[in-house]
Structures are given as structure tokens and as C-alpha cells.
Structure 1
Amino acid sequence: MSPRKYILVLPVLFASLFSSQKLENLSKFVNPIIGTEKMGHTFPGATVPFGAVQLSPETDSLSYEVNGKYNPDVYKYCAGYRYEDKTIVGFSHTHFSGTGHSDLGDFLIMPTVGKLKLNPGTAQKPGSGFRSRFSHQNEKAEAGYYKVKLDDYNILAEMTATTRVGVHQYTFPKSDDAHIILDLMAGIYNYDDKNVWTYVRIENDHRITGYRQTNGWARTRTVYFAMEFSKPFKSYGQKNFDTKQAYRGFWRKWNQDDNFPEIAGKKIRMHFDFDTQENEKVQIKFAISPVSQANALENLTTETPDWNFEKIKSQAQNVWNKELNKIVVNTLSEDDKVNFYTAMYHTFINPTTYMDANGEYKGLDQNVHQAKGFTNYTTFSLWDTYRALHPFFNIIQPKRNDDMIKSMMAHYDQFSLKMLPVWSHYANENWCMSGYHSVSLIADAIIKGTYTGNPEEALKACIATSNKRNYEGIGEYIDKGYISAEKIGTSVSNTVEYAYDDWAIAQIAKKLGKTDIYNEYLKRSENWKNVFDKSIGFMRPRLSDGSFKKEFDLMSTHGQGFIEGNSWNYSFFVPHNPEELMKVMGGKKKFGGNLDELFSMHLPDAFFADTEDITREGIIGGYVHGNEPAHHVAYLYNVAGQPWKTQSQIRKILTMQYKAKPDGLGGNDDCGQMSAWYIFSSLGFYPVSPGSDEYWIGSPSIINAKLNLENGKTFEIEAENQSEKNVYIERIELNGKPFDGYKLKHEDIMKGGKLVFFMNYKLKK
């Protein structure tokens, strides 16, 4: 036993979690299949809250390029699984949830019987490879558990997980030719050269260890593993699909294909062979580590010391139930409850734990670090999640969110560029999307009292990140107050997003009494005005000479200066100062009229042709709920003095964009952002401007809810006279007293109390 102090020992954790209170069985309302059809990009497999392992089926593994050209179908497989597919190619251990880009899909395992096949074959001809047909009638997905029957082999596949270990259970037919395939080539979003190297060491007849190095979206990523079988394999072998390497291996002095104890190469698939009795269960425990094979093995023995599959499954589901009971909600229908708790489930998948049971992890400097006093996390899709997911964590998961910000500060300290994360995972910065939205998370946590680190150091990191002059037009933004259209293709969206982030920095400075910094960044936060063309009343790309671009189309998403949106969407993106935006747009009447037009317009077909990742299901008029820049927009009717329109639109979005079925998400869930929007809006309020201590009132869809806060307090929400038609708020009471206005304070929630909405079907103007 290592003398190092363990950060997490699961048996102790489970004992402490469930000894004190009676929990409702809320996990039964979670349906991980929601979002797996069309463009939700969620996965249905087994994981635990914020787990490093997400053990899930792959229905295909497509290459990024086909014959040297971009493969448009690869976008559909960001989560590896599509509900529309009819075959499963195997089960891999790492995934993103709901993203529009991907990586991962590490260590694919597939059980088979009969003649050994080491090629997956094609979906059109599944018998040509080791993949298998399956039916959704024989598939079940729950929080912490997944099972499916592999029809071609008559094998029942079941899986569950701990934080760092995926646990498989395969029920075989009687066979003297049963196999378990380990595919070290497979991966999501594959390039031909993504797999840099793999190594496997056969420790004995039931345990193997190794690692995989990839060069995908994350450029330098190494994942180590330890794999154990519940019964010894009778033989094993491998095939190296790298023809260049295969001919030079061992100078042909050894036959590496059969029973050789060490295997290395770029394109390797292995097989482990068994004799099985009828209905015999063969289990696999598969642990991963960012640091070493030894740590992977330590994770395995720490978190799964025995072979009790049902016990591990029960522990996983108990942990989920504990997390889900942080909000106990009653709804108008069971479908609404399924939507609510599935949304909570999706918000608790990412970010993911990125450290071993002993606290070690690999940093941005590619060195091994020890997480002291915090859990280190990765998978930060910040352009999406700063809007609602992390503000949601500040209420429901404040300790985890504190650790997430400490993880981002560690990223900053280890990064040679001295920048906070933009989009990071597995000790890599991916530079995806725009803005420097780490500062929003940090500001929100400092303002709301969640962050327990050094706020002075956090402010320094925010300022350093905001002044990286050679990154994405920041130098020109600082000098001119905007980014010119000639500079980058997302000049307008970058300008307005930087302006919001600068406002967030100003809030930290104000909190710390740094008046000079506050004034500087408050001034920078007004830079959105420099790309607002008052002559047309919309955001518009501006040239380096100061003039606005003449060739301009308000509706187009292509070549107009925006990312994942058009001018209609981004012209409302001033979440930190909507009152001033309304003023420059022409006042309340004009502002409200523009909002009306946004929600009622008809989009031309060209809009969809330009935007491959937006589906028609994710759109209401010109409002694109499937993309994040407009997520706050329905709440802006409040500032225009028309709160009833906010209430009507929120309930419409809740109904139209979220359904309890496989295609129930109107766009990528984006690491939980879409789901966090649903939770906030269902409860009746939303963080329009993270970095402030305010939430804007919408229209609750729940009957009542009880928020069980980490500080021991409870905050209750009731919607009197609730119905599908009663979407308008007649009046509000907070702790028995009339509540005026449309802004709820963070402290009103965290000190506990009761918020009561009195609903009606009549407009209140």
C-alpha cells in the first residue's frame, strides 16, 4: 500500500453519503437516451457524477477525412453513439457530452463469439466485421448503468462505472470460441495520424496494462490504463494494421501476433480468448489514469476492490440519487419530471475529474502535479458553460465549482503562455470558440462568495489573459476598441464577447476595491458600441479605417463577423448592460419590437445552408436556442417593460426545445449548458449576466421545488395555480412579502427561504 494520502476512497465515500438522510428515488426519472438522436450529441452509457470514465457504446467510428476530403458525417458522431444507427461497434471509456466537436473514444472493447474478426466492418454489412446489430427494444440506459443485447452474438452487455473505472459484464452463450476485442485504434473524430502510439503489457493471464498517445483535438494526450478480467483468458493475440511497422517488427525473430507479452504500435487491435458456459458472466474492470500505468492499477484496486457488479452498479446509482436530490421537484407531467432530472443528470457529467485516486494529474506543462486541497477537473467548454452551467453550480454545486476554478488557476500557473482556459481538456488547450470566458466564471464565483482561493491572484490571471495582444485580435481590440473585419472572420462576436468579459473583470476589481482597474475595464466593457451601427440599429462588422462593412447581410451566418449566429442574434448580446443597448437601439418600443421580430421572423433556406450544426428543431423564428449566444435573449423583454412576453417565450422554449424522447434536445447539449438553461428556466429565473449577483425572473414551469443547498439551508419555490395555460405571473412573494421587479438576488436563494409565483392565463401589463 502506498504511503500517499488518498483524496478519495470510494467505500468510505459511499458510507458517508448515504448514512444520514432518506432520499427520494429520483434517478428513475433520468433517461440518458434523451439527446442521442439528431444533434443533441449526448451519450447513453454509464458514468458517475463528474466521472473521468464515461463507458458508452459506439455505433460507428468515422474518419475525419475520406479520400483526402472532409467527411461531413463525422460531425454526427461527436458522442460516438447515434440513436438512428442499427449496429454497435464496441464500448469505449471516454466521451464528451453534447459537444459540437470531439475527441476521446479511448479503449474500445467488443465481445464476440465464433470466428475471430479484427476489423469492425461497416454498418451496411455488419457481418463483415466484429460489430453487431442491436435493437432499442433490448437496450436500457439509466443513471450509472447501461445494457444492450448484441444480437449477432447473443451476448448481453452491461456496464457501470466508478469515477475512474469502467466495469463491464458480458453474459455469453456456451462457446469454445469466445473473444473480447480491445481496439486501440478506435477513437472519436479520427484523423489518420491521430493515434501516435499505443503500448500494452500482459502482466498475467487476467491483467494487462498500457497507454495510448493521441494527437487529435488535444494535441498531446496520453491516457494510461489497467484492465482486469474476472477469469483467466486461455490465449491472446494482436494484429498491427500499420503495414509499415508490421514488416520491421523484431526483425522477424518473434511472432508478435500470438501470446507475446509486450505490444507496441500505432494501429493495434488485440483479442483475448475464452471458453464460456451458457449464460456465463465475464467481467472486466478497466481503469484509466492521466499519469501512469501504476496509478491506473491503483485506481482500479482502490475503487473496485472486488468483482461484485451489482454492488458497484448500486453504488453508482446511489451517488446519482444523492446528487439529484439536491433539487426535489414536482411537475405538471411525468415527462416534465423526466426532462428536469435528465437535465440535472447532463449538467453533472462535465467538467470531468482529472486526477488519480492519490491526487496526481498531468498539467499543461506535461509534468505530474499533486492536487492539494482540491479536486482537479478538465473538460472546460467555457464559451458554452459560463452562461448557465457554472452559475447553476454556484447554487447547487458550490464546492465543486470552487474546485473547478482552482483547476483553471492551476492551468494558468502551468501554462507557458500564462492564460486561463478557453476550451481545455486532458492537459491541453484547444483554443475553440471566442472570448476569454474563464474570467466570467471567476467573477461569478467571487461575487457570489463561492471561490475560496486568493482573489487577488485570480484577478491578476484575468487581467493577464485579457491582455494577450497576439491572441484573436485582442491587441487591436485594446488599441481601437474593436476588431476589424479584415483581422479575423469573427470580428464582431469577438468584440462583443470581450466587452462582456471585461465587464466581468471590472466586477472583480470593484469587489476588491481596485478602483483604477475597475474604471479601466468598465470603459473596455463599452467597446460593443464600436461595432453597433446606429444607422441600422444592429451589430455590424467594421473595417480598419473605421467605416462599417458595406457588403452586409443581417440574416447571414457566413462571412459577416459572427460565430454560431448572425447579427440578429449578436445584436442582443450585451448581457452586462442591456439598458444601454436598449437606449442605443432606439428605446423600449423599438427594443421590444426587435425582440418580437426575432421570435416571429421566417429564416431563409440560406441560413440553414450556412450553418451545418443548427437544425430547424432548435429555432423559433430567428431565435436559435440550439446555439448559446441568444440564451439570455427571451429574458430581455423584462428591461423593455414587457415581462409577460418573457414569460410567454420562456414557456414556449421549454415546451418546444425539450422533450422526453431521443431527439428531445433542439441542439447540442454543449457539456450541460442547454440542460442548465432548462433547469433555471423551469424554476423561474435565469443568470442573464454572470458576474452579477442577480437572476432575472421568467416563468416557472414546475409546481414546486425544494433546493437542498450545501450550506444546510433550503430554498423553496412554488407556482400557485400552475398549468400549461397559466404562463403569466400575476404576482410574486418572497418569504411572505411582495416581491417587486424582475431581479432575484443570489443571497435571497443561499440564505434559504420561499419564493411563490402566482400564475394566471391572463396578461398582466
Structure 2
Amino acid sequence: MRRFSLALLFSWPALLFAQNPVKYVKPIIGTEKMGHTYPGATVPFGMVQLSPETDTLPYEMNGKYNPDVYKYCAGYQYTDKTIVGFSHTHFSGTGHSDLGDFLIMPTVGPLQLNPGTADKPESGYRSRFSHENETVEAAYYKVKLDEGNILAELTASNRVGFHQYTFPQSDQAHIILDLMAGIYNYGNKNVWTFVRVENDSLITGYRQTSGWARTRTVYFAMTFSKPFKKYGHQNNVNDVYKGFYRKFDQTTNFPEMAGRQIRAWFDFNTQPGEKIKIKFALSPVSTEGALLNLRTEIPGWDFDAVKQQGQELWNKELSKVSIKTAAEDDMINFYTALYHTYLSPTTYMDVDGGYRGLDQLNHKAEGFTNYTTFSLWDTYRALHPLFNILQPQRNADMVRSMLEHYNQSVHKMLPVWSHYANENWCMIGYHSVSVIADAIMKGNIKGYDANKALEACANTARYKKYDGLEYYMQLGYVPEDKNSSSVSKTLEYAYDDWCIAQVAKKLGRTDLYDEFIKRSLNYRNVFDASTGFMRPKMSDGKFRKEFDVLSTHGQGYIEGNAWNYSLYVPQYPAEMIEMMGGKKQFTGHLDSLFTMHLPDEFFAETEDITREGIIGNYVHGNEPAHHAAYLYNWTDAPWKTQERVRMILPKMYKPSSDGLGGNDDCGQMSAWYIFSSLGFYPVCPGSVEYALGSPSVQSAILQLENGKTFQVEAVNQSAANVYVRKVELNGQPFNKRFITHDDIMNGGKIVFYMDRKPKK
């Protein structure tokens, strides 16, 4: 392992390695309030996310949804004072969860097999902790558990979580394995769990749940660095199984444990300062696959070497962008954002390529890495376009993974929001289309057939049973009285249809181009000229009478209101501006978006929008208007894009636990930060253009996979000099407001000359 590490180090350019960007990564950013990030250990795009849990809340209380559950989508809230354990799977920045699998907790003293409560942690296996005794780094997490004076350390490889617990002297040291943990996440229910004690240091098993994902199964293999002296479990079984349980005393030293509610325990004697280590591998296929992953990725017990290898992997990926900034906080914000963009999608296959498919059969990924965790309504906007620049091979594999999902789908649909061999059908649109189109239009066609991908996109867009599509295809819009969030759906379908048309044109499919370019104009059907806003229309062709442009509920929108969604025509911004009264009037409209005052009722009606995520009525904490600041580029006031972007950056991103102004949403918020810091943004994925803004870095070097570099320089950069006086591309004056994907991928240099006053 050390030989591998040294070889990896010496293979990097000396300048990049010297920068050591991993030291600027602070995974604690976004762990407070609504950022919903996790602080634990993982590697780039890793299958294991080993991280602490700080509470276990019931999904329902008195038969009703418990709103406090929403805070714990990533399992950890910075303001909490106790830790209940460390589990192996987490989403980063989402508004739902389904994970928190296989919680492990070390304890000493009398055995307790319930988690206790946050106000009385001593009533269970929970422990108090202090942030003063907590270390959070890329691929490494450390915390002192006060109740038992135990030092917990975590690191990980792609498929294996590595625990190291330093115990005091005790003849009552325990490792608890809780297979019930995570049940509070999105109403997650255990269908069945199974644990098999193979010998005195090796455990295997699986967990099957039915929650957000209806049929999710995760297998594991767990091995200890030291034999345990005794083990057992607690299992609340129903009457069907009680007879079987009477035949044996299964509570202690019985090698098979099965049921819905299992908490197992393993006992040790420990000397002062003794370390008990645990390697915990996951597999989507079998316990045999988990064992193969464990023995392949971490064959030894050198915790520090695995930590170092994980951080070297992070350095390798983060070094694809080298930046210079005026302040260290900007370095922290940038590299933590880049870190967050590399957390998902996640690897979903064993080291031999085996994975569980959407059809619940086992498949082999031949010649590509299979990925899962596709939060596409969020990530199509900036995350996947960022991958087409910095991670093109991975993004091509992600497209391949989506196409395999399509092949395994009985509906013959591309993924909408998928994870762990399940389609959750969460959010709206069919934005796999956008991701695939963006890759094809930018020439990232590696390992898949572009024409077959186009057919998959077209078939997805024609699936009448999906979310109002039948009405959309008949009427040219989704009617609100037939299908809710109708305006949002109409606008997003029209954009995706435009993406299909662009690919069809590129590939010479005139029939498909004609079909979908016509559909891409359907945004016109929900524009109400009398109000100047997109407005819900009924099946009789009339606009809905009740209409509140500020409300986010029941008005035909999702995670936005009329002000935000009326700007969502990324495929035709110039036409949209003309439709809304022309450049001058539209500029005033945008100005109002960023400066207006929202009433208190606006915040009272929604759980996932906080005041921290809003500027005026611009909701940066949700995605529909992420492109809004760049729309000034289509008016006579492009300098206002520069002003708005540089205003948003420090307001929405800070180097603190509460430093994200909304859910990071699998890296979308962070991808916005990366693009905007570099000075350009993909307003319309599927197009090859990026709108110019105002870079916040002094300089940046992008190391591209094709061996070339693209450089960004901001002359006279400062917090006050947010306006761009002139631009040069490759040494020549550049008078356009957009650069192309080829401008970047062919290598070169763009220079922004910054000024305190706008060039109007």
C-alpha cells in the first residue's frame, strides 16, 4: 500500500502536489441547519460513506409526519451534543434519505441495547461529545466519546469502512451493531435483516428495507482485528417466529441472527489504550461480494496507511483545479465545494463489476464503473456539466449507468431519481435526458452508442403514464386540475425536449428533431401576458383564477414560485425576455427578484427554504433559479450578472458549519460555486456555451483529462473589483459574453480585467 502511495505521489506534477489542496477541505461545512452534508470518511465517488449519527428520531409521531426528521437527512447536525453511532451509507445534501445502514457503536460498562435519548445519553449506548475533541478531514473523522472515554477514528476505501476505537481498560468493552438504525429516515422500514457469525472475528449478513427505495438490499462483511470473547443479540420477533426461537437460546453465542429488529453485540477485554479495529465492507450483490471487496481493498490492518491513501486519492482529484485566492477562506470554500461535488453519484458495484440491477437481477459492469445516487432534478444543472470538464470519463460511465437502468426498466425510462437498484420517482422532469444530451453535444461519447442513447431519451419523453406527460403531449402543457406542479413540469419537459432535439440534429435524425423542437416551444402555453408570469392553466384552456405569484404551494410550482419559475426557459432566453416585455423591462424584473422583501408567511409555509438561502425573492437554497443571475447577459446590462454573482458567493457560501444556504443536493450547490468562482456557468446544459460572469479567484489552472490545461486569470482581483472591464482569450480581445466547451477543452487561457466600476 505504501509503495502504491509513493508511486501515486511521484506521478503528479510537482506544483500540484506541493499545493496539497486536501488541507483546505473542511467537511464540517454544511452540517448545520439545511446544508444536510455529512462530516464522515469517504473517498471520491465512494460506495461507503462512514459517518456519525447524532440522533434517532421516529419518522412519525402520533400517526403524523415528524418534521424534525428533515434535519437528519445526512444523519448529523452540528448543534447536537450526542453521537449515537457510526453508519456506513449517507446521501450528501439531500432533502430525503433512505440510508444510515449498519450502525456501529463502541461502549464500556454494563451492556445497553437501546440508543437512549439526547437529553439522557447514559440511558442507552449514546454518548456525549464535544466539537473541541472532533477532527474532520477528507477521508478521516475522529471524535472522543465522553461516556466511555473512547477515541473513535474512521477512514474508508471505496467499498470498505475502516474503524479504529481506542478503549480504556475494561472487562466490559462492547461493539454494538445496530441493524435498526436509519429507520427514522423517510419512514424507512426493515423488511428483513440477517447476521451470520462465521468465526470469532468475521461477521456477514444483509439488510433489506422498503422505504423511499421500495426494494433495497445491502450486504456486508465485518471483521475485527481481535477475536471477541462473547456475542449475542436482541431481536423483537413476532408470534410467527417465537416458536422457532424457543428451540434454542439464541440470545447469546448463537451464530445466526434473523429478524426485522436486530441489535447485536460483541464483547472484549481491553487494556489501557488498546485499539480494536473493524473493517466493514458493503456489496450490492452478496456477502461473498462484500468479502471480496474487503480482502481486495484493505487486506491489512494499517489504519494510518488507509487514511493516507484516501487523502492521496482526494488530492489527486482536487488537484485537477489549482487556484490562487486572496484569502484562505476562499481556498477553503472552493476546495470544500469541489470535495462535495465529488461525493456523488456513488460507485455501485463490487470490485469484480457485479451489481444489482433495476430488475433486481445481478449484472456485471463490463468496461465501465456502474454508479448510483442520481439526484437528477438537482444535478443536471451544473454538477454533470462540471464533470464533462473535470471528470469526462466518469461522466461517460454515469451516462452508461443510466442507459443500463433504461435497459432494465420495465417502463423503458431513463432514471429520474435512482439509488441502490431502485427508482424513487422523486421530483419532476426526465433530466437524464439533459445529462446525456450535454455529454453528447460536448463530444463525451465514451463506451456507449449515441444513437441508442438518443432513442432512450425519446422513448422516455413519450412515456404517457409518467407524471402528466399524456396531457402534455395532447395539449402542449400539463393542466393543473389534472396534475399538480403543472407549470414546473411543462417548463422542464419543454427544456428536456429541446435537449433531445439538439442531439437529434447533431446525429442527423431529422424526424426526431422536428418532433422535439416543436415540443420545446410548449413553454409559451403557460405564459400569461396579462400578469407577465408563467401561470397554471386548466384542462379547459383557461388560466387558473386563483393565482399568487409569491406562494410556493398549490400554484403549479415545485420548490419555487412564479417569480423564480417564470425565468425557467434556459433553452430560449432571448425569446423569453422578448415575451416578458423586452430587455429593459426584463432587467427591471430581474432587479426586483434580487431586491424585493418577502413576507413572513412565505417562510412559514415551507420547511426546506430558510431565510439564509434567500436573497430578496431569489431562492439560492433551491435550484430552479440557479441560472437567474446569468440572465442579464441576454440584456443590455451584463455587468449586473457580474454584480449579482459576486454578491451571491459570499452570502451563500461560508467556511463554517452553517456555511451553505440550503441543501447541497448531491453537489449541485457546490457545483454552482465552482463554476461561478471560475467566471463562467452552464445556463443551458445541452448547449456548448457557458455564460461569462465574474471570477472570484485570482487565478486557476484546470488540468484536463486530454492532457491540456485551461487557465483563468483575474487581473486586479479584489472584493471590491467585481466588474469585468475587458476579457482576453488566448491573448486576443474577446468581446462575447459566452465561451464554448471547445474553448476550454482545447486548452488556453482566459483573462478577466477587473474593475471597481461597471462597464455599462
TM-score scaled by structure 2? Answer: 0.98
> Which residue of 612, 618, 621 corresponds with 1:623?
618
Q: Is 1:523 paired with 2:514?
A: no
CA contact (8 A) 2:84 2:127 kept: yes
Residues 465-495 of structure 1 show CA distances to partners (whole Å, capped at 9, x for unaligned) of: 0001111110110111001010122000000
Q: Is 1:734 paired with 2:725?
A: no
State the one-letter code of the partner of 1:422.
V
1:290 corresponding residue in structure 2: 284
CA contact (8 A) 2:187 2:211 kept: no
Post-superposition shift, 1:241? 2.8
> Which residue of 291, 300, 303 corresponds with 2:297?
303
Give 3-state SS (helix, strand or coil) of 1:298's partner.
helix
In structure 1, how many angstroms separate the alpha carbons of the residues matched to 2:468 and 2:244? 49
Q: Identical aligned pairs, as a percentage?
A: 68
1:7 corresponding residue in structure 2: none
In structure 1, how many angstroms separate the alpha carbons of the residues matched to 2:116 and 2:314? 36
> Which residue of 474, 483, 487 corresponds with 1:479?
474
Moved over 2 A (4+): 10-19, 188-193, 241-250
Residues 692-726 of structure 1 show CA distances to partners (whole Å, capped at 9, x for unaligned) of: 10000011000000000111000110000000000
State the one-letter code of the partner of 2:613.
G
CA contact (8 A) 1:703 1:720 kept: yes
In structure 2, how many angstroms separate the alpha carbons of the residues matched to 1:15 and 1:491? 56
1:697 corresponding residue in structure 2: 692
2:270 corresponding residue in structure 1: 276
Residues 119-153 of structure 1 show CA distances to partners (whole Å, capped at 9, x for unaligned) of: 00110111111000000000011000000000011
CA contact (8 A) 1:442 1:451 kept: no
In structure 2, how many angstroms separate the alpha carbons of the residues matched to 1:202 and 1:752? 56
In structure 2, how many angstroms separate the alpha carbons of the residues matched to 1:13 and 1:604? 58
2:56 corresponding residue in structure 1: 61
Residues 403-457 of structure 1 show CA distances to partners (whole Å, capped at 9, x for unaligned) of: 0000000000011110000000000000000000000000000000112210110
Give 3-state SS (helix, strand or coil) of 2:602's partner.
helix
Give 3-state SS (helix, strand or coil) of 2:164's partner.
strand
Residues 86-138 of structure 1 show CA distances to partners (whole Å, capped at 9, x for unaligned) of: 00000000000000111110000000000100000110111111000000000
> Which residue of 397, 408, 411 corresponds with 2:402?
408
Q: Which runs of 5+ in 1 are unaligned?
A: 1-9
Give 3-state SS (helix, strand or coil) of 1:757's partner.
strand
State the one-letter code of the partner of 1:43.
Y
1:492 corresponding residue in structure 2: 487
In structure 1, how many angstroms separate the alpha carbons of the residues matched to 2:11 and 2:75? 39
Post-superposition shift, 1:69? 0.9
Instruction: Decide whether aligned partners of structure 1 residues 526 and 12 sit closer, same or farther in structure 2, where only a CA change above 3 A counts.
Output: farther
Instruction: Decide whether aligned partners of structure 1 residues 760 and 267 sit closer, same or farther in structure 2, where only a CA change above 3 A counts.
Output: same
Instruction: Decide whether aligned partners of structure 1 residues 193 and 510 sit closer, same or farther in structure 2, where only a CA change above 3 A counts.
Output: closer
Residues 511-532 of structure 1 show CA distances to partners (whole Å, capped at 9, x for unaligned) of: 1011221122111001011000
1:28 corresponding residue in structure 2: 23
1:635 corresponding residue in structure 2: 630
Q: Is 1:539 paired with 2:534?
A: yes
1:98 corresponding residue in structure 2: 93
1:3 corresponding residue in structure 2: none
Post-superposition shift, 1:244? 4.2
In structure 2, how many angstroms separate the alpha carbons of the residues matched to 1:361 and 1:470? 28
In structure 1, how many angstroms separate the alpha carbons of the residues matched to 2:540 and 2:512? 29
> Which residue of 748, 761, 764 corresponds with 2:756?
761
CA contact (8 A) 1:80 1:188 kept: no
> Which residue of 669, 676, 691 corresponds with 1:674?
669
In structure 2, how many angstroms separate the alpha carbons of the residues matched to 1:457 and 1:204? 49
Instruction: Decide whether aligned partners of structure 1 residues 263 and 314 sit closer, same or farther in structure 2, where only a CA change above 3 A counts.
Output: same
State the one-letter code of the partner of 2:106.
P
Q: Is 1:330 paired with 2:324?
A: yes
Q: Is 1:113 paired with 2:108?
A: yes
1:567 corresponding residue in structure 2: 562
Give 3-state SS (helix, strand or coil) of 2:398's partner.
helix
State the one-letter code of the partner of 2:11.
S
CA contact (8 A) 1:120 1:130 kept: yes
Residues 55-103 of structure 1 show CA distances to partners (whole Å, capped at 9, x for unaligned) of: 0000012221112111010000000000010000000000000001111
Give 3-state SS (helix, strand or coil) of 1:456's partner.
helix
In structure 2, how many angstroms separate the alpha carbons of the residues matched to 1:359 and 1:343? 30
In structure 1, how many angstroms separate the alpha carbons of the residues matched to 2:354 and 2:269? 39
In structure 1, how many angstroms separate the alpha carbons of the residues matched to 2:7 and 2:364? 25
> Which residue of 706, 715, 720 corresponds with 2:715?
720
1:195 corresponding residue in structure 2: 190
CA contact (8 A) 1:619 1:626 kept: yes
2:259 corresponding residue in structure 1: 265
Give 3-state SS (helix, strand or coil) of 2:624's partner.
helix
CA contact (8 A) 1:405 1:451 kept: no
Instruction: Decide whether aligned partners of structure 1 residues 137 and 424 sit closer, same or farther in structure 2, where only a CA change above 3 A counts.
Output: same
Post-superposition shift, 1:15? 6.5
Q: Which runs of 5+ in 2 are unaligned?
A: none
Residues 513-565 of structure 1 show CA distances to partners (whole Å, capped at 9, x for unaligned) of: 11221122111001011000011110000011111111100011110000000
State the one-letter code of the partner of 1:638.
N
Residues 620-665 of structure 1 show CA distances to partners (whole Å, capped at 9, x for unaligned) of: 0000000000000000011012111100000010010000000000
Give 3-state SS (helix, strand or coil) of 1:341's partner.
helix
CA contact (8 A) 2:2 2:305 kept: no
- For the aligned residue pairs, the C-alpha RMSD in angstroms reads 1.2
Matched pairs, number: 755
> Which residue of 313, 321, 324 corresponds with 2:315?
321
Stretch deviating more after TM superposition (106-115 or 604-613)? 604-613
Give 3-state SS (helix, strand or coil) of 1:288's partner.
strand
Matches within 5 A, 1:7-46: 17-21=8-12, 22=14, 23=17, 24-46=19-41
1:213 corresponding residue in structure 2: 208
In structure 1, how many angstroms separate the alpha carbons of the residues matched to 2:218 and 2:580? 51
In structure 1, how many angstroms separate the alpha carbons of the residues matched to 2:689 and 2:661? 27
CA contact (8 A) 1:79 1:98 kept: yes
2:139 corresponding residue in structure 1: 144
CA contact (8 A) 2:97 2:185 kept: no
Q: Is 1:579 paired with 2:570?
A: no
1:605 corresponding residue in structure 2: 600
CA contact (8 A) 1:102 1:189 kept: no
Post-superposition shift, 1:190? 3.8
In structure 1, how many angstroms separate the alpha carbons of the residues matched to 2:663 and 2:173? 38
Q: Is 1:384 paired with 2:378?
A: yes
Residues 223-264 of structure 1 show CA distances to partners (whole Å, capped at 9, x for unaligned) of: 0000000000000010013454663333x1211100001110
Q: Is 1:428 paired with 2:419?
A: no
In structure 2, how many angstroms separate the alpha carbons of the residues matched to 1:556 and 1:402? 39
CA contact (8 A) 1:240 1:267 kept: yes
1:6 corresponding residue in structure 2: none
> Which residue of 387, 393, 404 corresponds with 1:399?
393
In structure 2, how many angstroms separate the alpha carbons of the residues matched to 1:212 and 1:651? 47
Residues 262-287 of structure 1 show CA distances to partners (whole Å, capped at 9, x for unaligned) of: 11000000000000000000000000
In structure 1, how many angstroms separate the alpha carbons of the residues matched to 2:38 and 2:275? 25
Residues 544-593 of structure 1 show CA distances to partners (whole Å, capped at 9, x for unaligned) of: 11111111000111100000000000000000100000011000011101
Instruction: Decide whether aligned partners of structure 1 residues 192 and 436 sit closer, same or farther in structure 2, where only a CA change above 3 A counts.
Output: closer
Give 3-state SS (helix, strand or coil) of 2:117's partner.
coil
Post-superposition shift, 1:13? 7.0
Q: Is 1:590 paired with 2:585?
A: yes
CA contact (8 A) 1:40 1:666 kept: yes
State the one-letter code of the partner of 2:110.
K
Q: Is 1:374 paired with 2:365?
A: no
In structure 2, how many angstroms separate the alpha carbons of the residues matched to 1:16 and 1:509? 45
In structure 2, how many angstroms separate the alpha carbons of the residues matched to 1:385 and 1:670? 7
Instruction: Decide whether aligned partners of structure 1 residues 350 and 315 sit closer, same or farther in structure 2, where only a CA change above 3 A counts.
Output: same
